[in-house]
Chains A and B, each alone.
Chain A
Amino acid sequence: MHNKSVAELSRELESGKISSVELTQQFLDRLKQEDGKYNSFITITEEQALAEAKAADELRAAGKATAWTGVPFAHKDIFCTNGVRTTCGSKMLENFVPPYDATVTEKFRQAGAVCLGKTNMDEFAMGSSNESSYFGAVTNPWGLSSGEKRVPGGSSGGSAAAVAARLVPAATATDTGGSIRQPAALCGVTGLKPTYGRVSRYGMIAFASSLDQGGTMARTAEDNALMLNVMAGFDPKDSTSIDREVPDYTATLNEPLKGLKIGLPKEYFSDQLSPAMEEQVRNAVKEYEKLGATVKEVSLPNAKLAIAAYYVIAPAEASANLSRFDGVRYGYRCEDPKDLMDMYTRTRAEGFGAEVKRRILVGTYALSHGYYDAYYLKAQKVRRLIQQDFANAFKEVDVLMSPTSPSPAFVQGEKTNDPVTMYLEDIFTIAINLAGLPAMSVPAGFVDGLPVGLQIIGDYFAEARLLNAAHQFQQVTDWHQREPK
Chain B
Amino acid sequence: MQWDIVIGLEIHVQLATQTKIFSGSSTAYGAEPNTQANAVDLAMPGTLPVPNENAFRYAVMFGLAVNAEIGRRSMFERKNYFYPDLPKGYQTTQLEQPIVGPGYVDVDLANGETKRVRIHHAHLEEDAGKSLHEDYHGMSGIDLNRAGTPLIEVVTEPDMNSAEEAVAFAKKLHSIVTSLGICDGDMSQGSMRFDVNISLKPKGSDQLGTRTETKNLNSFRFMEQAIAHEVERQMDILEDGGRIIQETRLYNGDRDESRSMRTKEEANDYRYFPCPDLLPVVIDDDFIEDARSRLPELPDARKARFKEQYGLNDYDAGLLSGDAKLAAFFEETVEHGKDAKLAANWIQGEFSARLNAEEKTVAESPISGAQLGDLVVRIADNTVSSAGAKKVFEALWTGENDNVDAIIDAKGLKQVSDTGALEAMVDEVLAGMPDQVAQYQNEEDPKKRKKMLGGFMGPLMKASKGQGNPKLFNEILVKKLGG
Given contacts A202-B48, A323-B89, whether A317 and B276 have CB atoms under 8 Å apart is: yes
Residue A88 at the chain B interface, CB threshold 8 Å: yes
A205 to B43 CA separation, bound complex (whole angstroms): 11
Cβ-based interface call for A252 (8 A): no
Could you tell me if A100 and B44 are in contact, using CB atoms closer than 8 angstroms?
yes
> In the assembly, what is the distance between CA of A240 and CA of B279, in Å?
6
B190 within 8 A of A: no
**Stretch among A133-141, A365-373, A394-402 lining the B interface:** A365-373
The proximity string for B residues 275-296 relative to A, scoring 1 for CB distances below 8 Å and 0 otherwise, is 0111100000000000000000
Q: Which residues of A contact B50 (CB under 8 A)?
A: 236-239
Contacts of B276 in A (CB 8 A): 208-210, 240, 317
Interface membership of B273, Cβ < 8 A: yes
**Closest CB in chain B relative to A98 CB, distance in Å:** 7
C-beta contact mask, B70-99 vs A, less than 8 Å → 1, else 0? Answer: 000000001010101001111000000000
Of the listed stretches A185-193, A261-269, A286-294, A324-332, name the one at the interface; the rest are far from the partner chain. A324-332
Cβ A239 vs Cβ B48 within 8 A: yes
Compute how far the CA of A204 lies from the CA of B277 in the bound complex, rounded to whole angstroms.
12
Residues of chain B within 8 A of A206, CB atoms compared: 45-46, 277
Chain B positions within 8 Å of A150 at CB level: none
Q: Which residues A59-93 have CB closer than 8 A to chain B?
A: 79-80, 86, 88, 93
Range class of the A interface residue count? 35 or more
B48 x A237 contact (CB < 8 A): yes
- Indicate which residue in B44, B89, B279 contacts A98 across the interface (CB closer than 8 Å): B44
- Give a binary string over B368-400; 1 marks a CB under 8 Å from any A CB, 0 the rest: 000000000000000000000000000000000
Q: Is B250 an interface residue (CB 8 A)?
A: no
The interface residues of chain B lying within 8 Å CB-to-CB of A340 are: 84
- Determine the distance from Cα of A204 to Cα of B45 in the docked complex, in whole angstroms: 8
Q: Given the complex of chains A and B, what is the CA–CA distance between A326 and B42 in angstroms?
A: 12
Highest count of chain B CB atoms <10 Å: which of A79, A201, A237: A237
The chain A residue with its CB closest to the CB of B80 is A320
- Chain A contacts of B89 at CB under 8 A? 320, 322-324, 326
Inter-chain contact B87/A203, CB cutoff 8 Å = no
Contact between chains at B46 and A203 (CB < 8 Å): yes
Contact B271 A367 (CB under 8 A): yes
Contact present for B45 and A96 (CB under 8 Å): yes
Interface residues on chain B, number (Cβ under 8 Å): 28
Cβ of A241 to closest chain B Cβ, rounded Å: 9
Within the complex, which residue of B45, B82, B90, B278 is in contact with A93, where a contact is CB–CB below 8 Å?
B45
CB proximity of B189 to chain A, nearest CB, Å: 25
What are the residues of chain B within 8 A of A320 when measuring CB–CB? 78, 80, 88-90, 271, 273
The reply to whether B273 and A324 form a contact with Cβ atoms under 8 Å apart is no
| In the complex, chain B residues whose CB is within 8 Å of the CB of A376 | 273
User: Which A residues are in CB contact (< 8 Å) with B279?
Assistant: 239-240
Residues of B within 8 A of A323 (CB): 80, 82, 88-90
**Which A-chain residue is minimally distant from B51 (CB atoms)?**
A239
Residues of chain B in range 268-321 having any CB-CB distance to chain A below 8 Å: 269, 271-273, 276-279
The reply to whether B51 and A372 contact each other, CB–CB distance below 8 Å, is no
- Kindly report which residue of chain B lies nearest to residue A202, judged by CB atoms: B48
| Binary flags per residue of A314-344, CB closer than 8 Å to B gives 1, else 0 | 0011011011101011100000000010001
Asked if B45 and A324 sit within 8 Å, CB to CB, the answer is: yes
Q: Is the interface of B mostly helix, strand, loop or mixed?
A: loop
Determine which residue in B42, B46, B51, B84 has the highest number of CB atoms from chain A within 10 A of its CB, and name it.
B46
Q: Is A364 an interface residue (CB 8 A)?
A: yes
CB atoms of B46 and A240 under 8 A apart: no
Distance A319 CA – B45 CA, assembled complex (angstroms): 14
Residues of B within 8 A of A329 (CB): 42-43, 87, 142
Residue of A nearest to B24 (CB): A237
A99 at the interface (CB under 8 A from B): yes
* B49 interface residue per 8 A CB criterion: yes
Known: A209-B276, A239-B279, A368-B271. A326 touches B82 (CB 8 A): yes
Bound CA span A322–B87, Å: 11
Instruction: List, in ascending order, chain A residues with CB within 8 A of B84's CB.
Output: 326, 328, 340
Q: Measured between alpha carbons, how far is A368 from B269 in the docked complex, in Å?
A: 7
| CA gap between A322 and B80 in the complex, in Å | 11
Smallest beta-carbon distance B320→chain A, Å: 44
Cα of A316 to Cα of B272 in the assembled complex, Å: 10
What is the bound-complex CA distance between A367 and B45, given in angstroms?
Answer: 22
A320-B78, A320-B80, A320-B90 given; A202·B277 CB < 8 A: no
B277:A316 contact, CB within 8 angstroms: no
Give the interface of A toward B (CB within 8 A). 79-80, 86, 88, 93, 96, 98-100, 102, 201-206, 208-210, 236-240, 316-317, 319-320, 322-324, 326, 328-330, 340, 344, 364, 367-369, 372, 376
Other A-B pairs beyond A238-B48, A367-B271, A368-B269, 10, CB < 8 Å: A210-B276, A239-B50, A240-B48, A316-B273, A320-B80, A320-B88, A320-B90, A320-B271, A323-B88, A329-B142
A-B contact pairs, 20 of them (CB 8 A): A79-B46, A88-B45, A202-B47, A202-B48, A203-B46, A209-B276, A239-B50, A240-B48, A240-B279, A316-B273, A317-B273, A323-B82, A323-B89, A324-B45, A329-B43, A330-B42, A367-B273, A372-B271, A372-B272, A376-B273
Q: Closest 10 interchain pairs by CB?
A: A323-B89, A209-B276, A210-B276, A367-B271, A203-B46, A324-B43, A205-B45, A369-B269, A205-B46, A80-B46
State the B residues within 8 Å of A (CB).
39, 42-51, 78, 80, 82, 84, 87-90, 142, 269, 271-273, 276-279
